[in-house]
Amino acid sequence: MDAEVLPLPVKRNGAADPAIRPGWTRSTLVMAGLWIGLAAVVLAGIAIGPARIAPLQVAAILSERIGLILPVEHTSAQAAILMNIRLPRVMLGLLVGAALGMGGAALQGLFRNPLADPGLLGISSGAALGAVTVIVLGTAWLGRFAVGMTGILMPLAAFLGGLAATMAVYAISRRHGRIERGAMLLAGVAVNASAGSMTGLLVYLSDSEQLKSLTFWLMGSLGGADWSAVWAAAPLTVLPLLLLPRLARALNAMLLGDAVAGHLGFDANRVSRLSVVLVTASVGAAVAVSGVIGFIGLVAPHLIRLIAGPDHRMVMPGAALGGAILLVGADIFARTVAAPADLPIGVVTGALGGPFFIWLLLRRAPHGRGTC
Amino acid sequence: MLIASVSGVSLRLGGRDILNGVSLEVRAGEVVALVGPNGAGKSSLLRLIAGETRPDLGRISVCGAPLDGWSMAALARCRAVVPQDIQLDFAFTALEVVLIGRSPHGTGREESRHARSIALDCLERVGAAHLAPRFYPSLSGGERQRVQIARALAQITGVEAPKGRCLLLDEHTSNLDPAHQHGMFRLAREVAAEGVGVIAVVHDLNLAAAYGDRIGVLDQGELVAFGPPEAVLTPTLVGQVFGLACVTLRNPLTGSLTLATAPLAPTPIPQGLRA
Amino acid sequence: MRRTVSRVLLSVLMALASGAAARAADTSRLVVIGGSLTEIVFALGKGGSVIGVDQTSVWPPEVKALPQVGYYKKVSAEGVLSLAPTLVMAYRDAEPASALRQLEQAGIPVVLFERTPPLRALEDNIGAVGRLLGTEREAEALRRSLDGQIAAVGRTVAGIGKKPRVLFVLNYDPSQTVVAGAGTIAGQLIEMAGGINAAGDVTGFKPLNGEMVTAAAPDLVLTVEERWEGIGGAAGMVRLPGMSATPAGKSGRFAPMPGPLMLGLGPRLGEALRRLSVLFHGEGVALHGR
């Protein structure tokens, strides 16, 4: 399935197929390119920032960690910035970007809709509701303790909120043990609207301090990234990243319809359930630590499909890598363009993602890889 | 060898009796055509045999074992279905779509080596080898249908199936021009000759008569006749089931049974609407 | 539960420790996050040590030329560190908490100040900043001056018979009339300057519909100076729903006040109260009060 499609008809006697070249198939090249891109953007993310740290100093600080001392001078402040601020921020960007990218790819396959996005299942709006509830009502319920607790309480509430919203969507769309995809989309709309209105009510009730806090949370940011956030998010984001690609062949078959997928031996219902659970876990964890970051889940799978076709075996890992690259890249932009201030990353992804998407659409070939 | 055995099967859906006490058998090497008016239950019967739904009454066996005993994955290795219509909006190439048909056979080394050649082979058998690199959404309805036939074919080609293989076709020529219609039915016969049991739902009585070894006639959920074309497609039955007057002939080109049909009685135009 | 308690204890200990450390800390390069905190630092004569401020710091005017570390709800740890400060001063509600932690981890002491209750916090903060920066005498002087100004205004307004009804409109969104209700700084200032908060029935900043604006019947409407032009001046204000039927609307009594003066309590509190009492009760009364 990965070799370049041949332009010539093949003879019945199985004459030589000129397109099969051992090793260097298109998807291998694309994956290699993505991994290289990831390494590049990680290095850039570590080396670039409002504080000036020269590349050699970066190398020195990093190599110190593995016991190799280089004769390059650097301050302990620079080391602290690199190891405690930039590195966890880049790591978080990787995890969140990969979770959003692969989540988007899985849902686009599941809903047979290239415009699907992790927000469809209510994860983002549920998480927002959870976080805003803690911000606005937290002090009322917990008093002064809330100030110290918001560090763990907010991500937890955001995660639970996303989970609750998705469970509601899932429960509404189940009929006789089967998931009805069409009902799921509509349930998502309804749950998003309900969560949105409850969030709006809380925003109305908030005082100006709370309003400022939640406004920024809703815009998404990797600015809160420290190592504890990374370790907290890692298990729930990494596990689905490893498990979801195993559903790729099933998702391919399901694109032809649940009935055909059944004929081909795949339990579409089970695959749907599993995908929803895995995507909810990873995207829920991502949103919990970084707020609502739009566009990555929509754009990353799309870009991969554009370059390498709609086969999920390529799109899912590709979108994870692509999402990670996009997010870390956007974050580099967010923290340098207005340095020393920090732009909300959701603003950057929207500002870059929107026009880019429009350009993509304008370039589409009819029925070609441009739109799906 | 029995490929499919349907015994006393009834299906009720949404308060209606879709099928009522249907029994038939399909042997290896034969093409069984299912005909009947719209809503007779042909597609439902095919879906039951495919294992998509369970009957409310009765038993179905496919490829040597009862349907209940088959796991979806195992059944997929010896039974393929061409459904009535498929919507695919993603830019897979025709070859990639056919290769999806090989999914039940895993990802082993043997499989990866043979999958592509089997897929290209099947595309050639349906006369669509030139479509291999084209994007599926850009194909015409007829071309897509032939690609789906190739996909189903690829699913059961080159497999070890000692209990037999089954190919289910649900109006697989509905979008094809007459030449291709004949071509695809000829293909069905070739496939049957390779030992596969083929069941095809078809509207065109002449195609059924020309290519079916046996024909099953369904009417309002009942199997009213099942046997060789000559025995089944009699003017009486055709009039009763289809509401058509018919005359049976021999096709001078092929020698197969041919029906010339006309509406039973011309419906009188109401007095007031006459020109 | 035990973890929560120990976390709280730890924060208290760290606050005390950092306070103690700060007193001995190097205060030559300050990053100040919080507009009124910046004003206090400058009022105590230590403006020269400030090398970076946040977006809410707009006074004194020379602050605008300083590097910006962003909004106090979105502090960039690396941004602050890139200015190579020796001390960071911020209000406790600065976010994200992880950024402040990262600053501490990088060896930069972070001193947090309270914001509530507003008046007491202001007094305490002036004292605390004075101790921190070694300007205890200036701090004491500032506090006495501030107390004096507040007391003077208090005496003036004590004798006022009829207090004017005053409404403060936060005019950022032209589609909504957001007013300062009870519990806001603006509301508190109105009361301290001898007025009645016409929106005293609502709590916090809330949008008021046209009927309620008319029912509030303000004699004077205050708004934020920075948005005065944008909303179209007095002509624009009177067009707000329900405004034209109010006494203020009919007589065109609209007055812009600088945002930082009305939305936060800083060392310019005395000046804010004086200006308000002039607006409310006329020049003569204010001079009398002196």
What is the arithmetic mean of pLDDT over A1-17?
Answer: 37
- pLDDT score recorded for residue C181: 92
Rg (CA), chain B: 20
∠ Cα C13 C15 C19 (to 5°): 115
Q: Are the C-beta atoms of B73 and B104 separated by less than 8 Å?
A: yes
A contact residues 253-292, partner B, Cβ 8 Å cutoff: 253, 255-257, 259-260, 262-267
Do chains B and C touch by CB distance (3+ pairs < 8 Å)? Answer: no
The rounded distance, in Å, linking the Cα atoms of A371 and A366 is 8
Residues of A in contact with B83 (CB under 8 A): 257, 259-260, 263
Beta strands B57-62 and B65-66, pairing class: antiparallel
- pLDDT score recorded for residue C207: 86
Q: Which of A7-11, A287-291, B118-122 has the highest mean pLDDT?
A: B118-122
Structure tokens at B167: 């190919």
The β-bridge partners of C257 are C224
Q: Which residues contact C258 (CB under 8 A, 6 or more apart)?
A: C224, C225, C226
- For residue B246, give the H/E element and its range: strand B244-250
- pLDDT score recorded for residue A235: 92
Residues of C in contact with A154 (CB under 8 A): none
- pLDDT score recorded for residue A359: 80
CA distances from A7 to A25, A283, B95, B129, B187 (A): 16, 40, 11, 10, 25
pLDDT band at A143 (very low <50, low <70, confident <90, very high): low
- pLDDT score recorded for residue C6: 64
Tally of CA atoms within 13 A in the half-sphere of C191 that contains its CB: 11
Environment class of A3 (CB within 10 Å of its CB; exposed 0-12, middle 13-18, buried 19+): middle
Which of A256, A315, A316 to mutate against chain B (most B CBs within 10 Å)?
A256
Q: How many CB atoms lie within 10 A of CB B20?
A: 17
DSSP alpha helices (H): ranges in A111-180? 123-142, 145-172
- What does the pLDDT look like over C9-19, one tens digit per residue? 665 655 555 55
pLDDT band at A144 (very low <50, low <70, confident <90, very high): low
Residues of B in contact with A113 (CB under 8 A): 89
Q: To the nearest whole angstrom, how far is the Cα of A268 from the nearest Cα of chain B?
A: 11
pLDDT at A367 > cutoff 60: no
Question: Minimum mean pLDDT among A6-10, B133-137, C205-209: which range?
Answer: A6-10
Q: How many CB atoms lie within 10 A of CB C285?
A: 16
- CB contact under 8 Å between A229 and C80, yes or no, is no
Q: Which of A10, A262, A311 sits opposite B120 (nearest CB)?
A: A10
* DSSP helix/strand/coil, B13: strand
- CB contact under 8 Å between B81 and A367, yes or no, is no
- CB contact under 8 Å between A6 and B133, yes or no, is yes
Q: Which of B76, B121, B133 sits opposite A5 (nearest CB)?
A: B133
* DSSP helix/strand/coil, B41: coil
Residues of B in contact with A256 (CB under 8 A): 86, 88, 97, 100
DSSP classification of residue A173: T
Q: How many CB atoms lie within 10 A of CB C213?
A: 26
Residues of A in contact with C99 (CB under 8 A): 223-224
- CB contact under 8 Å between A85 and C71, yes or no, is no
Residues of A in contact with C69 (CB under 8 A): 340-341
Task: Pick the residue from chain A with its C-alpha nearest to B118.
Answer: A14
Tally of CA atoms within 13 A in the half-sphere of B241 that contains its CB: 26
pLDDT at A185 > cutoff 90: no
Residues of B in contact with A255 (CB under 8 A): 88, 90, 92
- CB contact under 8 Å between C107 and A81, yes or no, is no
DSSP alpha helices (H): ranges in chain B? 42-50, 72-75, 94-100, 109-125, 141-156, 178-193, 205-211, 229-232, 235-242
* DSSP helix/strand/coil, A84: helix
Tally of CA atoms within 13 A in the half-sphere of C100 that contains its CB: 24
Which of C32, C78, C263 to mutate against chain A (most A CBs within 10 Å)?
C78
Structure tokens at A345: 């990353």
Closest CA to B163 of B78, B80, B106: B78
pLDDT band at C26 (very low <50, low <70, confident <90, very high): confident
Q: Which of B52, B91, B115 sits opposite A310 (nearest CB)?
A: B91
pLDDT at A21 > cutoff 80: no
Whether the model clears a pTM of 0.90, i.e. scores above it, the answer is no
Structure tokens at B113: 């080596």
Q: Are the C-beta atoms of C195 and C244 separated by less than 8 Å?
A: no
Q: Which of A85, A147, A148 sits opposite C77 (nearest CB)?
A: A85
What is the arithmetic mean of pLDDT over C255-277?
Answer: 90
pLDDT at C288 > cutoff 50: no
Q: Which of B47, B89, B130 sits opposite A372 (nearest CB)?
A: B89
The rounded distance, in Å, linking the Cα atoms of C68 and C73 is 13
ipTM of the predicted structure?
A: 0.89
- pLDDT score recorded for residue C107: 87
Structure tokens at B27: 């042997």
∠ Cα B124 B129 B132 (to 5°): 135
pLDDT at C42 > cutoff 70: yes
**Which chains reach chain A with 3 or more Cβ–Cβ distances below 8 angstroms?**
B, C
Task: Pick the residue from chain C with its C-alpha nearest to A341.
Answer: C70
- What does the pLDDT look like over A28-64, one tens digit per residue? 899 999 999 999 999 999 999 888 888 888 888 888 8
For chain B, 275 residues long, the average pLDDT of each consecutive 10-residue run is 94 91 95 95 94 93 92 94 88 94 88 89 95 93 94 93 93 93 95 95 95 96 95 94 93 92 75 65
Q: At what angle do helices A181-205 and A123-142 cross, to 10 degrees?
A: 30
The rounded distance, in Å, linking the Cα atoms of C169 and A260 is 63
- pLDDT score recorded for residue B105: 92
Q: Which residues contact A61 (CB under 8 A, 6 or more apart)?
A: A53, A74, A78, A79, A82, A83
- What does the pLDDT look like over C141-196, one tens digit per residue? 999 999 999 999 888 888 888 899 999 998 777 677 889 999 899 999 999 999 99
- CB contact under 8 Å between B52 and A263, yes or no, is yes
- CB contact under 8 Å between A372 and B81, yes or no, is no
Q: Are the C-beta atoms of A116 and A104 separated by less than 8 Å?
A: yes
Q: What is the mean pLDDT of chain C?
A: 86
Closest CA to B139 of B122, B155, B123: B123
- CB contact under 8 Å between A262 and B91, yes or no, is no
* DSSP helix/strand/coil, B76: coil
- pLDDT score recorded for residue C74: 86
Structure tokens at C7: 């976390």
The rounded distance, in Å, linking the Cα atoms of A117 and C284 is 66
- pLDDT score recorded for residue C17: 54
- pLDDT score recorded for residue A27: 84
Q: What is the mean pLDDT of chain A?
A: 84
- CB contact under 8 Å between C106 and A51, yes or no, is no
- What does the pLDDT look like over A71-99, one tens digit per residue? 888 887 788 888 888 999 999 999 999 99
Residues of C in contact with A49 (CB under 8 A): 78, 82
Q: What type of residue is C99?
A: A
- pLDDT score recorded for residue C19: 53
- CB contact under 8 Å between B133 and A7, yes or no, is yes
Structure tokens at B231: 């025995």
Percent of chain C's residues with pLDDT above 70? 88
Residues of B in contact with A252 (CB under 8 A): 100, 103
- pLDDT score recorded for residue A184: 86
The rounded distance, in Å, linking the Cα atoms of C8 and C16 is 12
- CB contact under 8 Å between A367 and B120, yes or no, is no
Which of A258, A264, A313 to mutate against chain B (most B CBs within 10 Å)?
A264
pLDDT at A148 > cutoff 70: no
Confirm or reject contact between C93 and chain A (CB < 8 A).
yes
